[in-house]
A and B are shown apart, each in its own frame.
Chain A
């Protein structure tokens, strides 16, 4: 029987939203990070990961460049840089 239309869990990751970034992206400096995880908590795209000091990183395939991780980081260890910067 065809239908009803149901979606499997966690399949949105097929949709790479990283292409949404236009001018800036977060750069995790990994210098003064105290592993407070606030960046993980605030990321609307659930794409920041890490497990110890100076190990946190976002997944650029999904990051939309909103900048809230940089805003929340208490140690200013995340900088918003131009998209082109390596």
Chain B
């Protein structure tokens, strides 16, 4: 049952102001609709939306533990099949980045490999935020977290982000996509696409976190967009293992545009050398996915100055 204004993830939850994950969670369930059952791993979303006796959820929702939502969802899916009710019910298994790519990866891989008709969602705020911003497998390179702190001898997280979308693709899923809270309509478009397909699906949604990324709560939307516009978070879609769509960028912004608003990257902004290393990550994505929008010579964008003869 929905809130008066029709949302299936309602007001009154205790997420921090400007929480990207709260934005994305509502966009997802508003699309999948009332015939949805959600299995949710432990994490920020679970904690800030279901403090007993209150719940923000308007659909049947279950949290068991930190790493078993994928298995719980599998049990729900086969139970619905047994009851003959799977056809008109969407089953979602969702977690944060740690709950998906670290502690929950084994159960998720099992669920994917078994081919359950389940949409798995990862809300990627790039660290364990509920426990206080500790590093996860999806924490970006050289990010400051409470367990990869900046110090005389440390430049923050020494490892690059675990390639979770590629891991999903390697499981032969019917659909894999990345999305971002900076593109709310794109999230809903991809959710709609995913639930129209039978079989295991994975959507990873980049969700800025004012608390953990140490940015102003008003910038969640803008920072989400900047991550994409700098090439640091490519928005892609894979169908049955093939890359079928990439969000092209007409104008690629330098990574500083994205880094400068965030306290977790403060140490990078003060070092051109470190900025170069982050730019290299962006350049790799740009090159690999062909993020740069190729403007055809004839359809040149009108330029103010006269082109040289």
Contact = CB atoms under 8 A, between A and B. Distances in A.
A11 to B, nearest CB: 5
A11 B11 contact: no
Contacts of B15: 44
A17 B54 CA distance: 13
Contact of B14 (A7, A9, A17, A43): A17
Contacts of B26: 44, 46
Contacts of A5: 52-53
Interface in A28-72: 38, 41-47, 49, 59, 61-62, 64-68, 70-72
A65 to B, nearest CB: 6
A46 B54 contact: no
Contacts of A46: 3, 5, 7, 9-11, 26
Given A41-B185, A46-B5, A66 B220 contact: yes
A36 to B, nearest CB: 10
A80 B20 CA distance: 19
* Main SS class of interface, B: loop
Nearest to B2: A10
B219 to A, nearest CB: 7
Contacts of B57: 9-10
A11 B54 contact: yes
Contact of A44 (B1, B5, B22, B50): B22
B12 A13 contact: yes
A14 interface: yes
Contacts of B3: 10, 13, 46
Interface string B208-219: 001000001111
A17 B19 contact: no
B146 interface: no
A56 to B, nearest CB: 11
A43 B23 contact: yes
Given A66-B17, A71-B219, A7 B55 contact: yes
B59 A12 contact: no
Given A12-B12, A46-B11, A47-B11, A64 B17 contact: yes
A37 B96 CA distance: 27
Contacts of A59: 11
B221 A15 contact: no
B18 A9 contact: no
A76 interface: no
Interface string B4-38: 01010111111101111011001100000000000
B221 A17 contact: no
A11 B55 contact: yes
Interface of B: 1-3, 5, 7, 9-15, 17-20, 22-23, 26-27, 49-50, 52-59, 181, 184-185, 188, 210, 216-222
